Amino acid sequence: MLTDKLAVLYEGQGDSLAFQQLADRLGVPLRNTVQADNLSEPFFLSWRNGCLKLLDRELLRKGGLTVDIDPRNGEQRSWPAPKQGALAQALGRKTKTVVDATTGWGQDSLFMFRMGYQVSCIERSPVMVELLADGFHRLNQQDWMQRLQLSAPQLSTGNAIDLLATLTTPPDCIYLDPMFPPKRKKSALAKKSMVILRDLLGDDTDKDQLFNVALQAAGKRVVVKSPDDAEPLGGKPSESFSGKLLRYDVYLKV
Ligand SMILES: C[S@@+](CC[C@H](N)C(=O)[O-])C[C@H]1O[C@@H](n2cnc3c(N)ncnc32)[C@H](O)[C@@H]1O
């Protein structure tokens, strides 16, 4: 249960009302740094340097993980960035609208958004939704976003298995990146942000059902991101594109 795992941490950052409201929304305790030595929860949310951050015990002393709204290293900074690389190939040249049904830290959504796709996001973890809403709010404040009159992707909270079935206009593509059980040693695993997500939320054991619903709801294709050593989620894909330690499997609708 989230109540045993997570608390909101108030570290004396001015008015504590927003902290209390966040704790109430999530139904978790509000802790004060004064009690830091006997905190029982393994995870915390707190605003640090103007960003909502997720912390574990290792990150408590400094840092924290936030939804990163900056372009990746080497990515073109003007909008839209060129539609290049394995993900763009998997999305296909004619794709305009994408629903990211497993938004997580929003890194794939934001990458697609910066390449000019029209992206909508779904996330079921209320903790990740809070972090995403904070990140998307910061994105909307960026000069370049305002200059180009752009808005951050729309974010829906809930289980995509239910929400995808209610879409009135099928998106060209539904994008899935559920959590697969790790096969590699932890040291060879992904970034800290993905390790903490797994520790907090566990594996997505209903991903087969999610795939089936996505295939029904998509206009033209479903793209599944998976570790390169994982079995394809929907059986043999129509095509596959490989990235570093990962694969994008494409399922075209017939
Ligand atoms: C591996 S992470 C996604 C990472 C993401 N692609 C990124 O770039 O940050 C998987 C996320 O999908 C969410 N998720 C999995 N199944 C879902 C479902 N059926 N409905 C909504 N969200 C789901 C999980 O809560 C988790 O946050």
Q: What is the pLDDT of residue 28?
A: 97
* % of the chain beyond a pLDDT of 70: 95
Distance 36 CA to ligand 1 centre (A): 30
Question: What is the set of domains in the chain, with CATH numbers?
Answer: 2-60 (3.40.120), 85-252 (3.40.50.150)
Task: Report residue 159 as tokens.
Answer: 């289980």
204 lines ligand 1 (CB under 6 A): yes
Reported as a single tens digit per residue, the pLDDT across 47-95 is 999 999 999 988 888 889 999 999 988 888 889 999 999 999 999 999 9
Reported as a single tens digit per residue, the pLDDT across 25-51 is 999 999 998 766 778 899 999 999 999
Distance 103 CA to ligand 1 centre (A): 5
Listed as own residue / partner, the contacts of 196-202 with beta carbons closer than 8 Å and 24 or more positions apart are 196/43, 196/54, 196/56, 196/65, 197/104, 197/105, 197/128, 199/42, 199/43, 199/56, 200/5, 200/6, 200/43, 200/54, 200/125, 200/127, 201/125, 201/128
Reported as a single tens digit per residue, the pLDDT across 105-125 is 999 999 999 999 999 999 999
Q: Which residue puts its alpha carbon closest to atom 12 of ligand 1?
A: 102
pTM of the complete model? 0.96
Q: Which residue puts its alpha carbon closest to atom 27 of ligand 1?
A: 104
